[in-house]
């Protein structure tokens, strides 16, 4: 019974806190919901099995072994960042080593940018949420001073009302920081995770670069490039 009463008191306290904060508490709450959605999306996308599936690792082994034809169709159909990077190299097969490297590096940069795409949204919200909170606080303090101005600040009850109004006005800033601080930490973690995965893709695909630039049937890499 006591646990139920405590839970009710906590819910009432949170509800009062949210209600007293004013209308700008709602946009800040919306920011928190968007952050959660973007973070879940990125955590699902930034998995090693999703970015660098086993089929790509097997394809690299086949390419190094000179069996490119075996994996071409499979890589073209694979829906993974590493597969698209490797496919860019396959399209430059037989060209100069620098050409193959450039094609794969360019594609890797594009895929890395896609991996970080929604993280920028989290970073933006981490900057906007405290500003919304600050705006709510400024508006609340302005309202508190306006209310006291109507009756003067000489009486003690008016001083208490001003202090109470300022305290309530600070609720939006507090809530904005509650959203912004975790969002900043999550964004930093996801940025680091995306960088690590991009570096892992580059490392795992490196053996295939030289193999793709090797002598193709009927000519040298230089001859094919010149053609």
| pLDDT score for 153 | 54
> DSSP string spanning 62-114?
HHHTT-HHHHHHHHHH--SHHHHHHHHHHHTTTS-HHHHHHHHHHHHHHHHHH
Evaluate if pTM is beyond 0.75.
yes
Q: pLDDT tier at 18 (50, 70, 90 boundaries)?
A: confident
pLDDT over 60 (residue 120): yes
Q: pLDDT tens, 30-81?
A: 999 999 999 999 999 999 999 999 999 999 998 888 888 888 778 878 889 9
Q: pLDDT tier at 184 (50, 70, 90 boundaries)?
A: very high
């Amino acid at each position: 019974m006591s646990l139920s009463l405590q839970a009710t008191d906590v819910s009432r306290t949170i509800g009062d806190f949210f209600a007293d904060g004013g209308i700008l508490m709602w946009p800040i709450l919306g920011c928190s919901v968007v952050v959660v959605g973007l973070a879940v999306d990125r955590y699902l996308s930034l998995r090693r099995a999703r970015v660098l599936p086993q089929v790509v690792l097997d394809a690299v082994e086949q390419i190094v072994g000179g069996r490119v034809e075996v994996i071409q169709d499979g890589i073209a159909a694979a829906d993974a960042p590493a597969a698209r990077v490797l496919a860019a190299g396959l399209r430059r097969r037989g060209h100069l080593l620098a050409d193959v490297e450039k094609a794969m590096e360019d594609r890797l940069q594009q895929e890395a940018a896609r991996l970080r795409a929604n993280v920028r949204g989290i970073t933006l919200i981490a900057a906007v949420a405290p500003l919304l909170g600050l705006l709510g606080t400024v508006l609340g303090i302005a309202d508190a001073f306006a209310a006291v101005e109507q009756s003067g600040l000489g009486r003690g009850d008016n001083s208490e009302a001003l202090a109470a109004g300022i305290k309530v006005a600070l609720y939006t800033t507090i809530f904005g920081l509650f959203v912004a601080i975790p969002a900043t930490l999550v964004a930093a973690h996801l940025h680091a995770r995306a960088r690590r995965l991009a570096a892992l893709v580059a490392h795992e695909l490196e053996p295939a670069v030289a193999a793709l630039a090797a002598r193709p049937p009927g000519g040298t890499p230089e001859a094919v490039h010149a053609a």
